[in-house]
Amino acid sequence: MNELKILVLDDEKRVREEIEEFLVGNHYKVYKAASPSEAFTVLKNIKIDIGIIDIKLPEMDGITVMKKIKEQDPTIEIIMISGHGDMNSVIEAMRSGAADYFPKPFRLLEINNAIERTKRFRDLNLKLQEVEASNTLLSKELHANIGQRLIGESRALKKVIDLMSKVAKSDTTSVLITGESGTGKELIARGIHYLSNRKNKSFHSVNCSAIPESLFESEFFGHKKGSFTGADNDKQGWFEIADKGTLFLDEISDMPLNQQAKLLRVLEERKVSKVGSHNLIAVDVRVIAASNRDLEKMSEDNKFRFDLYHRLSSFVIHVPPLRERKEDIKVLLNYFIKEYSRRMAKSIKTVDPEIFNDLLNYSFPGNVRELKNMVERAMIVCDEDHLSINHFLFNRDKISRNHELQAEVLDLELTEKEMILKALERTGNNKSKAAALLNISWQSLDRRLKKYGITDQS
């Protein structure tokens, strides 16, 4: 590689000159800037490899500067420095893409070592991008099978992966993915797409809860220029954009009832009509929907269209929460530690066994996403090669209460099961009468019979 070009952005002249003198002595080409505007001027004329940026700057903060630089050139790696030990800023910097962080005062040798690590990481990234760019199909399969793989060893997760693989072969079947927030529903949707015949086409994810009701038709079906105030140009909707590919509808339960009928019509007819037009446009889109709520129960309570629920749920995949597949916790923990060690160029040699013991008894309301964020935060604050329980932040009250709560839930489920069995016995195994006796719908009773594995009592 040619001489490495480094930009030093700091409003303190002494800091700029000290870093420059040291790095030039180590055969780097150094460019200095006292303000963000000076830095952007340098970037217009010079192809920079690495930026060393102070968090506290005039005009705008260093994290904002980093984001703007990354927007212009994602290959530029950034090392953040700061004289203010604000942990929130450190975490935000690392999450925003910083390769490393150093509080002032720092040893110049540490900066040099960080540059060497960042250089190696950057070179590996560039090689990976070259390989991926050379073969679009390979890059997508890499993304699906390696970069986006599901991590775990539990029977529950293996069942999910098996179902995912099977339904991928039928690339017109609608799929409904259920599970709590943070369990990885979008990950599974992407996996289905990349294992299907549509893998060479686009995958698009839409959060239904984020679309205002007034813009629903425009967002999903598109609009013609002048069809309403603000429609300055023709616009394609999500169904047109995802044609021949996959459209993932996240949080489908938040879609307003009156819009659900329009979605159902498109799913059945496979045609859309833009707002302001009477022309029908044929679309070939596989729809995968997801929800963290019970759509069947919502449809029974008239809070979700019954016909749309059945149209979407041709094939249902339920992703169990992390607390129900504890075998996966250690595997995920080790995976995330390795992943963030690679990203942050850190070497964790030992892990406190207490971490795993505490996590095993934690309820994980945020599921895999919460565990991932826990490890990320721990890796940021860990400055040694040993990861200890003190690096982790979570509510230990939830650990101490977890065993009690599990016992309480078990007792409640046993009580419910006994009530159902007694109701069936009293009604001569008549499900309709048993449901009436329990003051629940027939569908709710049927769902509970499946949950508890209760077969016909004869």
Q: Is 458 part of a structural domain of the chain?
A: no
Q: Is residue 181 located within the same domain as residue 328? A: no
- Please give the Cα distance from 294 to 320 (Å, whole number): 13
One domain for residues 11 and 110: yes
Q: Which residues, including other chains, have CB under 8 Å from residue 189's CB and lie 6 or more apart?
A: 175, 177, 203, 205, 246, 248, 288, 290
User: Which own/partner contact pairs does 442-447 have at CB distance under 8 Å and 24+ positions apart?
Assistant: 443/296, 443/300, 444/297, 444/300, 445/420, 447/296
DSSP 345-372: T----EE-HHHHHHHHT---TTHHHHHH
Q: Is residue 225 part of a domain?
A: yes
Helix (H) or strand (E) holding 14: helix 13-25
Domain boundary among 318, 345, 376: 318
Question: CB of 208 within 8 A of CB of 249?
Answer: yes
List, for residues 109-131, the tens digit of each pLDDT value. 888 888 888 887 777 666 656 54
Distance CA 279, CA 273 (A): 6
| Claim to verify: residue 312 and residue 327 sit in the same structural domain | no
Place 398 in a pLDDT band, splitting at 50, 70 and 90.
low
CATH number at residue 93: 3.40.50.2300
Question: Which one, of 304, 179, 187, lies nearest residue 254 by Cα?
Answer: 304
Q: What is the pTM of this model?
A: 0.58
Regarding whether 167 and 114 lie in a shared domain, the answer is: no
Residues 347 and 235 in one domain: no
Q: Are residues 432 and 386 in the same domain?
A: no
The verdict on residue 181 lying in a domain is yes
- Distances in whole angstroms, Cα of residue 131 to Cα of each of 74, 115, 231, 269: 17, 24, 41, 41
pLDDT of 407 higher than 50: no
Q: What is the model's pLDDT at position 2?
A: 58
Q: Is the pLDDT of residue 73 over 50?
A: yes
- Is pLDDT at 454 greater than 70 in this prediction? yes
Minimum mean pLDDT among 129-133, 402-406, 425-429: which range?
A: 402-406
Q: What is the pLDDT of residues 123-172, one digit of tens each?
A: 766 665 654 454 444 444 434 443 345 788 888 988 998 898 899 988 88
Task: Note the pLDDT tens digit of each residue in 199-246.
Answer: 889 999 999 888 888 888 888 998 888 878 777 788 888 999 999 999
Task: Look at strands 281-282 and 271-272 and give their pairing.
Answer: antiparallel
DSSP state of 427: T
What type of residue is 414?
A: L
Instruction: Return d(Cα 224, Cα 231) in angstroms, integer.
Output: 7
Element (H, E) at 173: none
Backbone angles phi, psi at 263, to 5 degrees: -65, -45
State residue 408's pLDDT score: 44
Q: Distances from the Cα of 254 to the Cαs of 210, 213, 292, in angstroms?
A: 9, 10, 10
Query: Any idea what the CATH number is for the domain that residue 411 is in?
Result: 1.10.10
What local confidence, expressed as pLDDT, does residue 11 receive? Answer: 92
Decide if 456 is inside a domain: no
DSSP, collapsed to helix, strand or coil, labels residue 110 as helix
Give the domain range for residue 413.
403-451
Pair (124, 200) in one structural domain: no
pLDDT digits (tens, 9 = 90+) for 271-313: 998 888 889 999 999 999 999 999 999 999 999 999 999 999 9
Task: Let me know if residue 307 belongs to a domain.
Answer: yes
In a domain, 50, yes or no: yes
Query: Could you give the CA distance from residue 180 to residue 322 in angstroms, rounded to a whole number?
Result: 9
Tally the domains of the chain.
4
Closest C-alpha to 310, from 300, 319, 318, 320: 300
Closest CA to 399 of 364, 352, 354: 364
175 pLDDT band, cuts 50/70/90, is: very high
40 inside domain: yes
Q: Given a cut of 90, is residue 66 above it in pLDDT? A: yes
- C-alpha to C-alpha distance for 92 and 74, rounded to whole angstroms: 17
Tokens matching residue 428: 């001569």
Per-residue model confidence as pLDDT tens digits over 308-353: 999 999 899 999 999 999 999 998 998 899 888 988 888 888 888 8
161-164 contacts, C-beta under 8 A, 24 or more apart: 161/191, 163/315, 163/317, 164/188, 164/191, 164/192, 164/195, 164/317
Give the confidence band of 415 by pLDDT, cuts at 50, 70, 90. low
> Do 354 and 411 fall within a single domain?
no
Residue 439: the pLDDT is: 65
Instruction: Examine the domain organization and report whether 166 and 270 are in the same domain.
Output: yes
Q: Does residue 58 sit within a domain?
A: yes
Indicate the helix (H) or strand (E) that contains 280.
none
- Read off the pLDDT of each residue in 411-433 and give the average, rounded to a whole number: 72
- The rounded Cα 181 to chain-centroid distance in angstroms is 10
For residues 298 and 268, membership in a common domain is answered with yes
Q: What is the pLDDT of residue 402?
A: 46
For residue 7, what pLDDT band results from cuts at 50, 70 and 90? very high
Residues 411 and 388 in one domain: no
Q: How confident is the model over 258-283, as a mean pLDDT?
A: 91
Closest C-alpha to 119, from 67, 38, 56, 52: 52
Last residue of a domain, one of 261, 293, 318: 318
Beta strands 175-178; 286-291: pairing state: parallel
Question: Do 330 and 314 share a structural domain?
Answer: no
Q: Beta-strand (E) ranges in 120-257? A: 175-178, 203-207, 222-223, 235-236, 246-250
Helix (H, G, I), strand (E, B) or coil at 30: strand
Q: pLDDT-based confidence at 405, cuts 50/70/90?
A: very low
- CA distances in angstroms from 248 to 90, 189, 407, listed in the order given: 34, 7, 37
CATH of residue 336's domain is: 1.10.8.60
Each residue's pLDDT tens digit, 349-395: 888 888 888 888 888 888 999 999 889 888 888 888 899 888 887 66
CATH of the domain at 273: 3.40.50.300
- Cis (ω within 30 of 0) for the bond into 353? no
pLDDT on residue 404: 45
